[in-house]
């Protein structure tokens, strides 16, 4: 066999596709044009996650008040073997994969079951996809990683096809960042990635007492406040805005009617900022708020209804011992519309 033949046969363990280009900057610009000119100002939470935002989120996951990460990890530690057995998955696709810290528990179980072949992380934060891919191929000999740098609201069609059973994991309660209508739309799009032998593994934070919820989003060390203000650093850098993040107070409150946490930034004084890249001036009255995230909390009924609306049926409902967080394994319902 000559060298050229060898080159054709050897597949690189890491393959990364990026779908973020000028279009991504336009999305930020459109979100700012739309969200900062409304009577109630709002921005979607995906803009928190530049390199600094991603690092701050990792620190949040370690905070004593932030129980969701520990609770979800505990479920994975207890039930991953069963998930591997039930699914026989050769591939794990993960949406909003971040540093894939908890994912390793599932990868360990799939590897121990002897089925694991490929991991497909999908995330908007480029460095995280690249770093995580390089680390995982070192940690799991024989694993292939196909990273997709992109927006899971716009780029799911770029998730590569598979010929074996797969799990699509959407962990961390990130689905709760969408309001109810968009949530069902996103779940329907995700369900399209599933063939008849594939499963969705969905992490959802559960409804509980407001003081526990509010503490999780307003920690005593102020890390969540820094994370929240980070969106202003992103606007300053990407769109040449002139916000002083310290002009804004971090607010986290549980809306009992909607059963979601809202994070907001509240102007400490009346202020005006230019957003030079958009040729736009943004005005805040003293006390005026910008909503930066909602994080919906779920009941079992709500999870079941949302999955059913996406054509999925529940196979396993798994919670931690204190029933703070749930992981739901579901699969396409027989006869669902394509
Ligand atoms: C709350 S963190 C969860 C990270 C990790 N899955 C976990 O459970 O700890 C949300 C992750 O989703 C990514 N993300 C947020 N919005 C996204 C979007 N629209 N498309 C792709 N990734 C997104 C962020 O970069 C971040 O890594």
State if residue 124 touches ligand 1 by the CB under 6 angstroms criterion: yes
**Token output for 117:** 């072949």
Report the predicted TM-score, pTM, of the whole model to 2 decimal places: 0.94
The rounded Å distance from CA 4 to ligand 1 centre is 40
Q: Judge whether 137 and 11 are in contact, CB under 8 Å.
A: no
What does the pLDDT average to over 57-73? 97
Q: Per-residue pLDDT tens for 217-240?
A: 999 999 999 999 999 999 999 999
Closest CA to 282 of 273, 290, 291, 269: 273
The rounded Å distance from CA 83 to ligand 1 centre is 22
Range in 2-16, 51-65, 108-122, 200-214 with the lowest mean pLDDT: 2-16
State if residue 57 touches ligand 1 by the CB under 6 angstroms criterion: yes
What pLDDT shows up at residue 1? 46
The rounded Å distance from CA 152 to ligand 1 centre is 9
Q: Per-residue pLDDT tens for 245-265?
A: 999 999 999 999 999 999 999
Binned at pLDDT 50, 70 and 90, residue 35 comes out as: very high
- Residue 204 predicted with pLDDT over 90: yes
Binned at pLDDT 50, 70 and 90, residue 112 comes out as: very high
The rounded Å distance from CA 98 to ligand 1 centre is 6
- Residue 6 predicted with pLDDT over 70: no
State if residue 205 touches ligand 1 by the CB under 6 angstroms criterion: no
CA 85, distance to chain mean position in Å, is: 25
- Residue 273 predicted with pLDDT over 70: yes
What does the pLDDT average to over 195-221? 97
What pLDDT shows up at residue 23? 64
Identify which of 66, 98, 155 to mutate to test ligand 1's pocket (most ligand atoms within 8 A of the CB).
Answer: 98
What pLDDT shows up at residue 59? 97
What does the pLDDT average to over 28-53? 96
Q: Per-residue pLDDT tens for 119-153?
A: 999 999 889 999 999 999 999 999 999 999 999 99
What does the pLDDT average to over 40-49? 96
Q: How many CB atoms lie within 10 A of CB 329?
A: 21
State if residue 260 touches ligand 1 by the CB under 6 angstroms criterion: no
Torsion-angle region of 240 (φ positive above 0: left; ψ -120 to 50: alpha; else: beta) = left
State if residue 129 touches ligand 1 by the CB under 6 angstroms criterion: no
Q: How many CB atoms lie within 10 A of CB 250?
A: 20
- Residue 3 predicted with pLDDT over 60: no
State if residue 96 touches ligand 1 by the CB under 6 angstroms criterion: yes
Ligand 1 atom closest to the CA of 153, numbered from 1: 19
State if residue 125 touches ligand 1 by the CB under 6 angstroms criterion: yes
Protein residue whose Cα sits closest to atom 9 of ligand 1: 172
State if residue 264 touches ligand 1 by the CB under 6 angstroms criterion: no
Beta strands in the chain (DSSP E): 14-18, 41-42, 91-95, 118-123, 144-149, 166-170, 199-205, 248-255, 260-267, 271-275, 280-284, 289-296, 312-319, 325-332
State if residue 123 touches ligand 1 by the CB under 6 angstroms criterion: yes
Binned at pLDDT 50, 70 and 90, residue 337 comes out as: low
Ligand 1 atom closest to the CA of 98, numbered from 1: 27
- How many angstroms separate the Cα of 51 from the Cα of each of 134, 159, 250, 255? 17, 23, 20, 30
- Residue 86 predicted with pLDDT over 70: yes
């Amino acid at each position: 066999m000559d060298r050229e033949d060898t080159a054709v046969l050897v597949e690189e363990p890491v393959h990364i596709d990026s779908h973020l280009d000028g279009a991504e900057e336009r999305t930020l610009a459109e979100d700012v044009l739309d969200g900062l000119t409304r009577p109630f100002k709002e921005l979607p939470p995906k803009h928190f996650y530049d390199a600094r935002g991603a690092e701050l989120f990792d620190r949040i996951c370690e905070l004593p008040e932030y129980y969701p990460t520990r609770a979800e990890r505990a479920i994975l530690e207890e039930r991953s073997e069963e998930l591997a057995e039930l699914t026989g998955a050769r591939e794990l696709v993960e949406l909003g994969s971040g540093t894939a810290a908890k994912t390793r528990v599932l990868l360990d179980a799939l590897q121990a079951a002897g089925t694991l072949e490929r991991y497909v992380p999908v995330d908007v934060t480029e460095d995280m996809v690249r770093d995580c891919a390089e680390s995982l191929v070192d940690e799991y000999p024989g694993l292939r990683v196909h990273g997709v740098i992109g927006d899971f609201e716009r780029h799911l069609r770029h998730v590569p096809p598979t010929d074996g059973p797969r799990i699509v994991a959407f962990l961390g309660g990130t689905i709760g960042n969408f309001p109810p209508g968009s949530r069902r739309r996103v779940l329907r799009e995700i369900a399209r990635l599933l063939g008849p032998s594939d499963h969705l593994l969905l992490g959802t934070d559960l409804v509980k007492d407001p003081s526990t919820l509010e503490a999780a989003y307003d920690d005593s060390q102020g890390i969540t406040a820094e994370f929240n203000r980070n969106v202003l650093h992103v606007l300053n850098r990407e769109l040449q805005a002139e916000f002083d993040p310290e002009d804004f107070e971090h607010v986290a409150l549980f809306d009992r009617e909607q059963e979601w946490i809202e994070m907001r930034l509240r102007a400490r004084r009346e202020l005006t900022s230019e957003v030079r890249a958009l040729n736009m001036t943004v005005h805040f009255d003293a006390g005026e708020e910008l909503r930066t995230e909602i994080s919906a909390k779920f009941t079992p009924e709500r999870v079941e209804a949302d999955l059913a609306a996406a054509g999925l049926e529940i196979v396993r409902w798994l919670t931690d011992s204190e029933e703070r967080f749930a992981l739901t394994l579901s699969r396409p319902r027989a006869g669902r519309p394509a």
